[in-house]
Amino acid sequence: MKKLVMICAVLGIVLTASSMAAATGFYAITNELGYNGSGVIWNITDSTGPWTTSTPRDAVLYTIVDFPGYSNYNYLLSNWSEHSPSNQNNSFFQLAEEGNPSVTSAVGDWDPTLKIFTATVTGQNAPYPWSRFWQPDNGVAWGVTLTEYSYTFTATFLQAAIPDSGGYTNSVDPDTIVGSFTGEFVVTYDVDKNPITNGDLYGFEINLSKAMFNPLDSPYTVYNYFGTVPEPATICLLGLGGLALLRKRTK
């Protein structure tokens, strides 16, 4: 038994150290975001702006990071299904990639009450065709490269998350959602997909909240899914507990 305790202690130290360097696996998915006049875009190259987002828009968040059995996704964009299918609408933006190649850090977790979920994702150099952004001074949403970006979302629930596969999940409608999307982008493609060699650099700061506008499709289904999986140390400590129990039973 002493050997087992020693093994647990050593592995606990190693696993705790490794888990501190790794983000907790999580997913944050909602189509219940909206923005209208709650963000600004400015032209850094020309020192013009800022301009306020104008057209009422809905947005979608679809982020999956290191969740077992699922591919990684990094989607934050204007909701195509709720507006006419054109990226030339005012205030359109899009960050959409699978595998999360541009992500430099990603963390998502519940607070101790299991009623507040917060996710923060940062990244660099997310290119067209998956990145597009409205440029108010041009009146279009050309293809861009998001040279740097960060988005944070906090969803607050009246009902606590429930255990699921060792983590915690909540799929009920949140009471509130507060979010922001900030960063810089450089214009790399025009509306006809012609490369631009000297595109302007823009800055942006978009604030999003739980605010639905009038979708084009009807009926419209609202969905919300937020959840986590245990950190590696937690999983292994659970396993070590089972090993201790097994040893006790075989004595």
Tens-level pLDDT at each residue, the chain (251 residues):
443 333 333 333 333 333 333 346 999 999 888 887 788 999 999 999 999 887 778 889 999 999 988 999 999 998 876 666 566 667 889 999 999 999 999 999 999 999 999 999 999 999 998 999 999 888 888 899 999 999 999 999 999 999 987 899 999 999 999 999 999 999 999 877 788 877 999 999 999 998 766 555 556 678 899 999 865 544 333 333 332 322 333 34
Question: How big is the chain, counted in residues?
Answer: 251
Triad 149, 136, 216: Cα angle to 5°: 85
pLDDT given at position 233: 42
E strand or H helix that includes residue 26 = strand 26-35
Beta carbons of 41 and 135 less than 8 angstroms apart: yes
Give the torsion sign (CA, 205, 221, 113, 162): negative
Paired strand residues for 149: 123, 183
Spell out the domain ranges in the chain: 1-22+231-251, 25-230
Q: Which two tokens stand for residue 141?
A: 């949403």
Q: Which two tokens stand for residue 8?
A: 């647990």
- Cβ of 188: how many Cβ atoms within 10 Å? 18
Paired strand residues for 82: none
The rounded Cα 159 to chain-centroid distance in angstroms is: 22
pLDDT given at position 192: 76
pLDDT given at position 5: 33
Beta carbons of 143 and 129 less than 8 angstroms apart: yes
pLDDT given at position 116: 98
Beta carbons of 209 and 37 less than 8 angstroms apart: no
Name the residue type at position 102: S
Instruction: Check residue 192 and report its DSSP letter.
Output: T
Q: Which residues contact 40 (CB under 8 A, 6 or more apart)?
A: 49, 50, 51, 52, 53, 204, 205
Q: Which residues contact 107 (CB under 8 A, 6 or more apart)?
A: 23, 24, 26, 119, 120
pLDDT given at position 12: 37
Triad 128, 134, 135: Cα angle to 5°: 105
Q: What is the pTM of this model?
A: 0.80
